[in-house]
Amino acid sequence: MGRFTTWFHRMGSPRWFFDLSRPWLVGFLAVGVTLLGVGTVWGLGFAPPDYQQGDSYRIIYIHVPSAHLAEALYVAMGVAGIVVLVWRMKLADMFIAVTAPVGMAVTGIALLTGAIWGRPTWGAWWVWDARTTSVLVLFFLYLGIVALRQAIPRADQAGRAAAVLAIVGTVNVPIIKYSVDWWLTLHQPASITFTAAPAMPPSMWVPLLINMVGFYALVAAFLVAGLRNEVLLREADAQWVRDWLERAS
């Protein structure tokens, strides 16, 4: 076996992950809480008001990070789905199991903050335009994965079905991304892109960037914590978990 395949399979071992991941959890949590605190205080208290929307635009500092993360988590599940189907890697299956409810909650944040922002800005809590509708579909895709896992009693079949839905559902992600360009919509296009100068002054987009990284880090910490629990639960009968329990108690 080549060095890469050895590394790849070791990485897929639940025990390897459990032994290494504690410092990741602490690091992600520290970075996430700090950045989200700084970005939120900055965005709410110090960023200037928008010349058209006034102060309601400040919802952007949670809406955009949560929406972005909701899409990224689904893509991550899609990649994990391929790993499940091709290499039967247990850790990837656990990742989907842990990520689906978290992604659903993050999508819920994006939808709710969007609705609350829409009321004073568009005059409606909800509009059936391409962006909002495709994000609602994303929410139901997450829900579908959660439900599939619970509905199928045999763990390996449930895992494979969830992996298939994770892979197939990723086609929705580019639809969400380009929906504001492909269709006429109330939704404003992206304010910050990699290719053009931001459509905002730095005092507005720097806290947004901070909150985006903060959201990613904080949710990464939640996922690592959830994955550690999932490993313990599924490997509860393994000798290494029993040894670890001895040492922990």
CB of 108 to other proteins, least distance (A): 7
> Which residues in this chain contact other proteins in the complex, by CB under 8 A?
40, 44-45, 49, 54-56, 58-59, 62-63, 66, 102, 105, 108-109, 112-113, 116-117, 119-120, 218-219, 221-222, 225-226, 228-229, 232-233, 236, 241-242, 245-246, 248-249
CB of 88 to other proteins, least distance (A): 25
CB of 85 to other proteins, least distance (A): 27
Considering the complex, state which of residue 66 and residue 172 has its C-beta at the smaller distance from other proteins.
66
List the one residue out of 26, 157, 163, 148 whose CA is nearest residue 95: 163
Q: How far apart are CA 138 and CA 170, in angstroms?
A: 9
Is residue 50 classed as helix, strand or coil in its secondary structure? Answer: strand
CB of 82 to other proteins, least distance (A): 26
Considering the complex, state which of residue 59 and residue 80 has its C-beta at the smaller distance from other proteins.
59
Is residue 54 classed as helix, strand or coil in its secondary structure? Answer: strand
Considering the complex, state which of residue 162 and residue 219 has its C-beta at the smaller distance from other proteins.
219
Q: What residue type is assigned to position 16 of the chain?
A: W
Q: How far apart are CA 63 and CA 114, in angstroms?
A: 6
Considering the complex, state which of residue 56 and residue 133 has its C-beta at the smaller distance from other proteins.
56
Q: How far apart are CA 198 and CA 238, in angstroms?
A: 52
Handedness of CA 59, 63, 65, 66 (dihedral sign): positive
Is residue 128 classed as helix, strand or coil in its secondary structure? Answer: coil
CB of 132 to other proteins, least distance (A): 15
CB of 222 to other proteins, least distance (A): 5
Angle at 143 between CA 138 and CA 146, to 5 degrees: 135
Two structure tokens written together for 220: 């990464």
Considering the complex, state which of residue 12 and residue 101 has its C-beta at the smaller distance from other proteins.
101
List the one residue out of 217, 222, 206, 219 whose CA is nearest residue 40: 206
Two structure tokens written together for 235: 């490997």
CB of 229 to other proteins, least distance (A): 5
Considering the complex, state which of residue 116 and residue 192 has its C-beta at the smaller distance from other proteins.
116
Considering the complex, state which of residue 112 and residue 167 has its C-beta at the smaller distance from other proteins.
112
Contacts of 184 (CB under 8 A, 6+ apart): 129
